[in-house]
Amino acid sequence: MASMAHHRAVLRLVAAALAMPAVVGVARADDMKTCIDASGDVALAACTRAIQSGRLSKKDLAGAFTNRGVKWRAKDDVERAIDDHTEAIRIDPNNYYAYYNRGNAYLGQGDLDRAIADYGIAARLNRNDPDIFKNRAIAYERKGDSARANADRATEKALRH
């Protein structure tokens, strides 16, 4: 009898171990959704769990860093935001959204040259996002370069229509 109970206990442990990857996968998917959709500390924690899971593709990992960077900036922690966007760019140099958001962080700091540079890369990677041109126009305007600001505003307007 004892060996039969032991056998059943071992089978339950094996079954539980086999089910673990599915549970982890669901948790990761939920964390990514929360990372994207939520705000504040809830989103930051979900983004961090997703990043630390070791189970994201390079593209998704870069996206998680970018989303966490957006959440840091919303909490006025611009340095952490810049760090996360920079890491996203290191992982996926074609992630226009990371350049765009790092540009936003630099713009908020008043680092206009870096903001303009990041918006320029974002624009080369995605010519169809009017917000890139709108924000770069703001940076140019603050630098006193009204000709480039006006050109970017014209591009933004054309993209919105």
pLDDT of 116: 98
Dihedral (Cα; 143, 157, 127, 139), 10-degree rounding: 10
Query: What's the pTM value of the predicted model, to 2 decimals?
Result: 0.81
Mean pLDDT on 49-66: 95
Spatial separation of the C-alpha atoms in residues 16 and 27, rounded to whole Å: 16
Q: What would the pLDDT profile of 61-89 be if each residue is shown by its tens digit?
A: 999 999 999 999 999 999 999 999 999 99
Q: Which tokens belong to 42?
A: 């809830």
Q: Which pairs count as long-range contacts for 153-160, CB under 8 Å and 24+ apart, including other chains?
A: 155/130, 156/130, 156/131, 157/130, 159/128, 159/129, 159/130, 159/133, 160/130
Q: What average pLDDT does the chain have? A: 87
95: left (phi over 0), alpha (psi -120 to 50) or beta: beta
Hey, what are 26's tokens? Answer: 């669901």
Q: What is the pLDDT of residue 127?
A: 96
Tell me the HSE value of 19 on the side-chain side, using a 13 A CA sphere.
Answer: 6
Which domains, from first to last, does the chain contain?
2-160 (1.25.40.10)
| Predicted confidence (pLDDT) per residue in 1-24, tens digit | 555 555 454 445 444 444 434 333
